[in-house]
Amino acid sequence: MKISILGGSGFVGTRLIELLKDDYEIENIDLVNSPFFPELTRIGDVRIPAQMNEMLRGTDIVVLLAAQHRDDVTPTSLYYDTNVEGMRVVLDAMELNGIKRLVFFSSLAIYGLDKEMPKEDSPADPFNHYGKSKWQAEQVLQAWLSSHSDVTATILRPTVIFGERNRGNVYNLLNQIARGRFMMVGNGKNRKSMAYVGNIVSFVKHVLETDTEGCQVYNYSDGPDFDMNSLVQLAEEVLGKKIPTVHLPYWLGMAGGYVFDALAWITRKKLNISSVRVKKFCASTQTDSTKAHSTGFVPPYTLREGLSRTLLFEFVHPQPDSITFHTE
């Protein structure tokens, strides 16, 4: 059984390859080489039909991870070129090569901000180009599936994914907490659904082995959800030190975010602070993942274990190499 992972050189793809490589024939197709699995990697672009048509020949299963996902991608048309048009190109290549199995990584961003525990059938209301493009990609896939009833598809909508070597929003938050540079915007009672990378890739393996027909859509997060105050408390316990925190009112945090927006525009540099990130930080971003956890899947790690493993790896026992993955 051959699995082609599109966009597998990154954070999630690397862990997925590590998990699957002993049980499946794996090929990673990405714009860049894999730092851990170069021997399994071919350089390719999901936006180029000729490449996908040729590279997916002989494939049994496609896992579509390739995406533009940062908050600050410019021009914004890149979100749609990769996330939407890339989906069309991949589906055409699947049809040409007779591939009947797809796993697609979408996102909880399709629901928008401050939604109360959205379920898989909750209405889409994306607030940014990333979420809008992921929703459009899902619509393209569903339309295609309506005339391809013999294809099995799984759509995953994971919440923010974190773990060792990741340099995304969760790492930035943990890094600020660990270094005593953290300022809480708001009261810290907003809850965040999160997914440890070791669990989400295990769920992918689970659905590959259990979903056998039709199209299934799953939200994915690990619970129970932490609020920001509890996350700081966990960091204190794992790191063995008191973490000072300063609480800023929401309006002041947003004002600071707009200042950084202006600085980024003036300097033409991508900064770690922005109004969008402040807004996302202060929002309660929770999801209902009951469906995923009702499939018989047992996560190998609790959320607390995943956060503890990440804190220990990054701030207590850092690795001698400098291989990291930059995401949101």
Name the catalytic one among 111, 130, 196, 220.
130
DSSP label of 123: P
130 is catalytic: yes
Nearest one of 119, 17, 23 to 63, comparing CA atoms: 17
C-alpha R_g of the chain: 20
Question: For residue 18, what are the CA distances in angstroms to 25, 75, 100, 192?
Answer: 12, 34, 24, 27
Give the whole-angstrom CA distance, residue 30 versus residue 46. Answer: 8
3-state secondary structure of 287: coil
Residue 102 near residue 62, CB atoms below 8 Å: yes
- Strands 191-196, 222-227: parallel, antiparallel or unpaired by DSSP? antiparallel
Q: Catalytic residue positions?
A: 130
